Each structure stands twice: as C-alpha cells, then as structure tokens.
Amino acid sequence: MFTTLRASGAMTITLAAAGILMITMGARQSIGLFVGPINTSTGLGIATISFALAVAQFTWGAIQPIAGAAADRWGPRAVLVGGIVVMALGTALTPLMGSGIGLVFAQGLLVAMGAGAGSFSVLIGAAAQRMPAEARGTASGVINAGGSLGQFVFAPVAQKLIQLLGWMGAMYTLAVISLAALPLVGRVTRGGQAPAAPAAGEQGLRATVKGALGDRSYLLLHAGFFTCGFHIAFLVTHLPTEVDLCGLPPSVASWSLALIGLANVVGSLVTGHLVGQYRSKMILAIMYGSRAALVLWYLMMPREPWVFYVFAVGLGLTWLATVPPTAGLVGKLFGVRYLGTLFGLTLLSHQIGGFLGAWLGGLAITRFGDYTWMWWADIALALLAAVLNLPIREARIARTAPAAA
C-alpha cells in the first residue's frame, strides 16, 4: 500500500501532514465531551452550546475554500502556521467566555477558523501538488488516517483532563497541545516536487471555479458530502448526551469516540488504497448506504455499552474515510492545480450539513427530550447520498493485463 509513497520520497510530507491533522482534528472532534461540563458550569443550556458548536461546523467549512485558495496562490506555510496559532488562541479563550456570544466567538469562529486552515483542503492540496499522481490516493488516505488517530488519542485524553483539571483546565491544556503542530509545518511545505504551475492556456482560478460550479457531477458530489457532514457533526456533538440519556457513564462516550477514530485509521488507509482500484463514486455510495444500515441496527438494539462500542467501530470504518474518494473525484474532474480551492468548496458543503446536524440535534433534545427524529433523518439522508453519487461522471479504472509467465 505504501510502495508508491516510499518510491516517490513523499512519505515525509505525508506523515507530517497526517501529524498536523491528528492535532487539529483530534482536539476539534473531542469538543462534544465538553458540552455537559460547560452547561453545568455556565448554565447556558444545551441548545445555546449546540448553536455555538454548529456555528463552528459551518465556519470550519467556510474557511476551507478561502484557506485552500490562499495556499494555492501563496503557498501553504503561512496558512498552516496562522491556522494553528488562531486555533490555540480560541481554545485558550473559551474558558473565559460566560455567554452564548462569547462561546460563538471563541469556539464558533476562532477555533473553527484555525482548525479549518490546518485541515484537509490545505494539507491534501499541498501534498498532492508535491508528489506524482500514483501516490496521491495513498497519501490522502494516510493524511486522513492522521485525523482519525487524533480522535482516538484525544477523546480519552480530553475526558481524563476534564476529570483531573475540570473543563477549563482541560481547555487550557488542549490549547498548549495544539501548538505542537507548528514544527511539522516545515516538513509539509518543503521537499518533494515543486507545486504544479498552470500549463500554457490553462484556466485561472476564477474560471476553474465557475466551470466546476456548473458541473453536474461536482454538484452531486457536494450533495452527498453534505449528508456526511450532517451525520458526523450530529454524532460528534451529541453522542455524549445520547450516552447520558441511556444512563451510562461518560467513559462510554469517550471510548466510543476513541473507537470511531481508531476504526477510521483502518478505514482511511484501506479507502486510500481502494481509490486506485475502484471508481470513487461506487466506494462513496457503498459507504453512505452502510451508514443507513448501521444507524437502523443501533435503533433496534438495547442501549448497552457494547452496543455503543460496536456502533462506534462500524461508524469509524467510514467516518472520515469519505475524504480520499471525494478529494480523488475532485482531482479527476478538474486536476490538482486548484485542488485546495475546489475541495475546500466541497468541504464547505460538508460543513453546512454539519451546522444543521449539530444545531438541529440541540433543538431536538430540548424540544422532544431525545434524538429519535434525528436518527431517522440521518438514515434518510444517508440513503439519498448513496443514490446521488451513482450518476457522477467518472471513468472506469483501467485494468492492467497480467504479465505473461
């Protein structure tokens, strides 16, 4: 699986990008563990806190095409450094915010903008421009696995920090940990092949974006990724509350989030390999369909710890493993010159879904006292996403004939 990376000398870039994503995504994906403690400490209410985190979901997506365009134009170094510093600042300011507006500013804007600038669009775009085409699928899978490994590591660590230091002390500690990503930036932005330059007669950024937004396949890809965002944001924000509603200890929630991350390390690596073997649209359709089946299984089962753990592993296999085939499809449709920008726009669609998943989940628990209708909405959207990916324009994978004995 890693032969192409070793042969191309791209392993250092890939692993450094995975390390950055491990930190930015790990800290961000553990925020659901803080909902209960923040509510108890501030009395803001779960709906208010959920709205702030919903704004964070949208902001994280909205910054992706901007950060991607800046990296495509001026290079990724300044974008990554600025994002990491802003993320750490927002995390450190969160304990000082005692109002809904303050929480929106710290978590919804600063943390989300910083984490978004140090996330998929910039990292995958920077890596893709510095390695040959045959290495990109595997590289995107490894980078994506870094984010999943971060969730596996950060979820139990954050829960333990909350228990030992309180939620405020845990936030300050996460702010310091976030800065550990800074030394890795240089590894991502130097070495490897030079970033791809526009070929003679190639369209500029504006014309490329305009053409992409008029492409039916690109819009269908956005629609499917919207559902992915809805699903992930709802779960990462509200799974701890769901566990609490079932009368189970907080450790079940933290280990469930950790298992999602660990399983997605496997899912991301396998998917990164499969995008070179099978059409990405078919991989995505199968992933979204499996999510609908898994949520339906969860609704039919008793609320026991082992059910949450099995559910988490099943979710984790496709959690963020949708990123390599989605980014791969964007690259196939439009090339890698403006991949940071175009995939950033796709991530914006993902996070519009994320905003609704986090916010509507808060409204559901406040109004109805449980998440029943959210689970059914999740099933319906996952099935719709599976269907919408099928008409996407994608050539069949060329099969090389086996060599004669």
Compute the distance between CA of residue 323 and CA of residue 307 in angstroms, rounded to an integer.
26
404 within some domain: no
How high is the pLDDT of residue 203?
66
In this prediction, residues 209-238 reach a mean pLDDT of 88
pLDDT digits (tens, 9 = 90+) for 162-188: 989 999 999 999 999 999 889 888 887
Which CATH number belongs to the domain containing residue 163 in this structure? 1.20.1250.20
112 within some domain: yes
Q: Specify the number of domains making up the chain.
A: 1
Q: Which residue has the higher pLDDT, 9 or 235?
A: 235
315 within some domain: yes
How high is the pLDDT of residue 202?
56
| Residue-number span of the structural domain to which 114 is assigned | 3-191+205-389
Q: What are phi and psi of 248, to 5 degrees?
A: -100, 155
pLDDT digits (tens, 9 = 90+) for 229-272: 898 889 888 888 899 898 898 889 888 888 888 888 888 788 87
200 within some domain: no
pLDDT digits (tens, 9 = 90+) for 60-112: 888 878 887 888 778 888 899 999 999 999 999 999 988 889 999 999 999 99
Please provide the average confidence, as pLDDT, over all residues in the chain: 83
Compute the distance between CA of residue 152 and CA of residue 88 in angstroms, rounded to an integer.
20
In this prediction, residues 155-159 reach a mean pLDDT of 85
Find the distance separating the first CA and the last CA of the chain, reported in whole Å.
24
Compute the distance between CA of residue 13 and CA of residue 10 in angstroms, rounded to an integer.
5
253 within some domain: yes
Compute the distance between CA of residue 373 and CA of residue 371 in angstroms, rounded to an integer.
6
66 within some domain: yes
401 within some domain: no
403 within some domain: no
Yes or no: say if 32 and 155 are a contact pair by the CB < 8 Å rule. no
Tell whether the model's pLDDT for residue 144 goes beyond 90.
no
Yes or no: say if 382 and 288 are a contact pair by the CB < 8 Å rule. yes
How high is the pLDDT of residue 342?
85
Tell whether the model's pLDDT for residue 287 goes beyond 90.
yes
Confidence of residue 339 (pLDDT cuts 50, 70, 90): confident
Query: What DSSP designation does 108 have?
Result: I
Q: Which residue has the higher pLDDT, 143 or 190?
A: 143
pLDDT digits (tens, 9 = 90+) for 188-201: 776 444 444 554 44
